[in-house]
A = this chain, B = another copy of it.
Amino acid sequence: MEFTVQQIAEVLGGTVEGDATRRVTSLAKIDEARAGSLAFLSNLKYEHFLYTTQASAVIVGPDLAPRQPVAAALIRVADPYSGFTKLLEFYAQATRMGKRGVEEPAYLAATATVGPGHYRGAFSYIGENCRLGPNVLVFPHAYIGDRVTIGEGSVIHAGAKIYPDTVIGRFCVVKAGAVVGTDGFGFAPQPDGSYRPIPQIGHVVLEDYVSIGANTTVDCATMGTTRVGEGSKIDNLVQVGHNVEIGKHTVIAAQTGISGSTKIGDYCLLGGQVGVVGHITLANKTTLAAQTGVHKSVKGEGRILQGRPALDLKQSQRVLVVFRNLPEILHRVERLEKAANAPEKP
């Protein structure tokens, strides 16, 4: 990828100050940029980087008035952050997400249908009666079991496994190695202490704009549906148990686990390494700090919880201040005991 500063300014509808003929070949942060890089300056708090950056060009906003000489060419636009994001999207599309067509060998069952504009990487597998919409990308080694439907523009990354009967909406992303729809962990204890598997015949629904992280696992329902609501984003190595329901626009960070049949509300934020037991409900807009353990329902919108056991943030902070000083507290109790038992002074 190589463009002149002038070409980029035209794409962004901006004007050039400085050498418009320079060539840029990469995008970078202003403080990490090198010759050939294009950077941006949106927050004027970082203005000082403008005078030291090695970037060949910097996208800036209407308010910037340089107070020192600037080596970089400037591309002046209305909103530098949005402009830069547009370029990022264009770059990602051009380099990594622009795949189209079929690499052989790829497996497509005779009864499956695939929309126009798709990519099927080598060794991808699409089972019987699948229905894939337009512009769906299926990277190498992705497995799509029987009767799966995938909406327009969704991307199934390398080695992701989508189990039979899963329903995936539009513009979803399932990252590499994720497993969606495998059997839930259901076993009936037998009189002799052994366990018999309970067949799991439900499925998973990912609504539109959902993102599932790398090597994350989402179990299918025993019967019925495990559901991830519209726009929710799940990070890597997360476990979502059978029959879980996650609301809309909820964000779940890496290595968190949600046990079976729990319902997470809309607009929730779950930090990393959080654990939530089964069969409970988290109200909308609940925030759980990293490593929180939740063992009962959270009622009332907008609460922030922390710790194991989970306490409201302020209570948790007060508790932890005392917790760190426990040896001192013990010492003070010992002093009180000594004083209480001392013979009274004459």
Q: What is the interface of chain A, defined by CB distance below 8 A to chain B?
A: 27-29, 32, 85, 88-89, 91-92, 95-96, 103, 105, 107, 121-123, 125, 139-141, 143, 145-146, 157-159, 161, 163-165, 173, 175-177, 179, 182-183, 185, 187-188, 193-195, 197-201, 209, 211, 213-215, 217, 219, 223-224, 231, 233, 235-237, 239, 241, 249, 251, 253-255, 257, 259, 267, 272-273, 275, 277, 290-291, 293, 295, 307-309, 311, 315, 318-324, 326-327, 329-330, 332-333, 336-337, 339-340
Looking at A176, A257, A315, A323, which has the most chain B CB atoms within 10 Å of its CB?
Answer: A176
What's the nearest-Cβ distance from chain B to residue A345, in Å?
A: 11
- Cα separation A231 to B29 with both chains bound (whole Å): 28
Knowing A28-B223, A187-B251, A272-B239, the reply to whether A319 touches B329 (Cβ < 8 A) is: no
Knowing A255-B239, A322-B326, the reply to whether A193 touches B267 (Cβ < 8 A) is: yes
Knowing A163-B176, A237-B217, the reply to whether A157 touches B141 (Cβ < 8 A) is: no
Q: Which residue of B lies closest to A124 (CB)?
A: B123
- How many copies of the shown chain assemble into the complex? 3
Looking at A91, A239, A318, A339, which has the most chain B CB atoms within 10 Å of its CB?
Answer: A239
What's the nearest-Cβ distance from chain B to residue A213, in Å?
A: 7
- Taking a contact as CB atoms under 8 Å apart, the answer to whether A333 and B340 are in contact is no
Knowing A29-B223, A182-B175, the reply to whether A194 touches B255 (Cβ < 8 A) is: no
- B-side contacts of A307, CB under 8 Å: 308
- B-side contacts of A277, CB under 8 Å: 290
**A-B contact list, 5 entries, CB within 8 Å:** A107-B123, A121-B125, A125-B141, A185-B213, A185-B235
- Taking a contact as CB atoms under 8 Å apart, the answer to whether B183 and A175 are in contact is yes
Q: Which residue of B lies closest to A140 (CB)?
A: B125
Q: Which 10 A-B residue pairings sit nearest by Cβ, starting from the closest?
A: A322-B326, A88-B199, A92-B199, A107-B122, A239-B254, A217-B236, A179-B214, A143-B158, A161-B176, A176-B179
- B-side contacts of A214, CB under 8 Å: 161, 179, 182, 217, 219
- Taking a contact as CB atoms under 8 Å apart, the answer to whether A254 and B233 are in contact is no
Knowing A236-B217, A257-B272, the reply to whether A201 touches B251 (Cβ < 8 A) is: no
- B-side contacts of A201, CB under 8 Å: 27, 88, 91-92, 95-96
- Taking a contact as CB atoms under 8 Å apart, the answer to whether B239 and A237 are in contact is yes
- Taking a contact as CB atoms under 8 Å apart, the answer to whether B103 and A253 are in contact is no
- Taking a contact as CB atoms under 8 Å apart, the answer to whether B176 and A194 are in contact is no
Knowing A140-B143, A179-B215, A275-B272, the reply to whether A224 touches B290 (Cβ < 8 A) is: no
- B-side contacts of A239, CB under 8 Å: 235-237, 254-255, 272
- Cα separation A9 to B341 with both chains bound (whole Å): 75
Q: Which residue of B lies closest to A200 (CB)?
A: B92
Contact of A233 among B140, B173, B187 (CB under 8 A): B187
Q: Which residue of B lies closest to A157 (CB)?
A: B182
Looking at A214, A309, A318, A327, which has the most chain B CB atoms within 10 Å of its CB?
Answer: A214
